[in-house]
Amino acid sequence: MSPAQKFPRSTRPPADPTTKATGTPGRLPHIDNPLDALFPVTDAMWASMQHEYTNGREKGQTTHVPFIDKHFTWMPGYTNVITGWPGHGKTELYYQLLLYRAVFAGKKTAIYSPENGRPQDIYDGLIHSLTGRNPDRDWKRKLSLRDYALAKDFIREHFVVVSPPRGMGKTPGHILAYFEAAIAHFGVDHSMFDPWNKADHSAQVGMGGIEAYLIGVLDMCTGWAADTRQHLVITAHPKRLEGMAYGNARAVPDGAAISGGQTWENMALVIGAVHRPHKHVEGDTSVELYWHKVKSHKLVGHPGSVGTIAPGESMPAVLVTFDWQTNRYYFNGWTPFNDPLAYEVWGGAFEEDRPAQRHLVEPEATGAPAPAPTWRNGTQLPLGEDFTGKGRVITLNS
């Protein structure tokens, strides 16, 4: 029995876009049961509509980063396409977001990511981010064997890597079938297809070129995500720009910059980008996050950016950085991994992650009330907000 047949939430397999169309040009095709495509307002549908009216429509689920939630939340059934230049951190960012989902919401993820090495390399990277320490014995901040084993147990419970061996299919349809097997056998909620160009796309030759191929295959992906209610993440590289050279500043890519262009923007429900504007400046690890397209603004988020500098300002309101030593992203020096719960879930001893360059300014020792804590750039800390999505308020006081 195929994985698609095992899967309990969907009774129909994904459409195969490589199947040739049938019918005669200029004539309507014969359909055996055309009424199956019509959906009047039945009593069952009206009951569902009343339920949504009373209880509210389903909304996107928190990323556990409030600065990102303004622009993007996890909506079940959505296909989220993320682009960015090689080495700018798009994969690492979404690994982190998926780790937050595991830590704070217990969600599980299947990852197809052949560019990131062996399955154990991917697991080690996740463990590095989860603990803030590298399992590599040659690192100064080395993870102890005890904590390595504890973190491994947590990662094993919440992540599974898809790595088909030689001889197994690697078309987008095959990758979705492997994800479907992960849903049936591991109960995953998120599936990450990273990157798009590491699948077998040879079928496009017989389908009239890349645009026709993308229309068919992306329709299969979006339909599959909707049927399975998966949070499907696809990373896709932008195409090379004219005059682009090493060390030169690069434009922020959007959906139209991906190979295949406008089709991506037309088909995906969310288009985002991860961009490092000063990647070649030594010591500058600043990152800009963009969401160019977001379907259903009221339910999922509004297009916008995090980590960018507003007109008339000298620095971003939210400074996004990546620290390779801890393998973590920081937002004004804060990370969700600073919540003690992030250590409780895997059994590690709490170790507040506040690198020296991001220490809080100490309030003056006077009789007056201490001022609201600020980062060294003078911006005030976002105290009193629920960063976990569980009604727990994190305090960032020193």
Predicted confidence pLDDT, tens digits, the chain (398 residues):
444 444 444 454 555 554 455 556 678 888 899 899 999 999 999 999 999 899 888 999 999 999 999 999 999 999 999 999 988 999 999 999 999 999 999 999 999 999 999 999 999 999 999 999 999 988 888 899 999 999 999 999 999 999 999 999 999 999 999 999 999 999 999 999 999 999 999 999 888 888 899 999 999 999 999 999 999 999 999 987 665 665 567 889 998 889 877 899 999 999 999 999 988 888 889 999 999 999 999 999 999 999 999 999 989 999 999 999 999 999 999 999 988 889 899 998 766 655 433 333 333 334 444 344 333 344 444 444 433 333 333 333 33
Give, as one character, the DSSP assignment of residue 27: S
Q: Could you tell me if residue 198 is inside a domain? A: yes
Burial of 270 (0-12, 13-18, 19+ CB in 10 A): buried
CA-to-CA distance for 305 and 274, rounded, in angstroms?
A: 10
Distance of CA 296 to the CA centre of its chain: 18
CA-to-CA distance for 115 and 131, rounded, in angstroms?
A: 23
Q: Could you tell me if residue 33 is inside a domain? A: no
Q: Could you tell me if residue 91 is inside a domain? A: yes
Q: Could you tell me if residue 161 is inside a domain? A: yes
Note if the pTM is more than 0.85.
no
Q: Could you tell me if residue 374 is inside a domain? A: no
* Cα distances (Å, whole numbers) of residue 328 to 127, 155, 167: 11, 16, 36
Residue 108: give its domain's CATH number: 3.40.50.300
Q: Could you tell me if residue 371 is inside a domain? A: no
CA-to-CA distance for 17 and 201, rounded, in angstroms?
A: 12
Two tokens at 68?
A: 């990102």
Q: Could you tell me if residue 380 is inside a domain? A: no
Give, as one character, the DSSP assignment of residue 111: E
State how many domains the chain has.
Answer: 1
Q: Could you tell me if residue 142 is inside a domain? A: yes
Of 319, 273, 318, 321, which Cα lies nearest the Cα of 294? Answer: 273
Of 368, 305, 294, 300, which Cα lies nearest the Cα of 331? Answer: 305
Domain that holds residue 156: 66-358
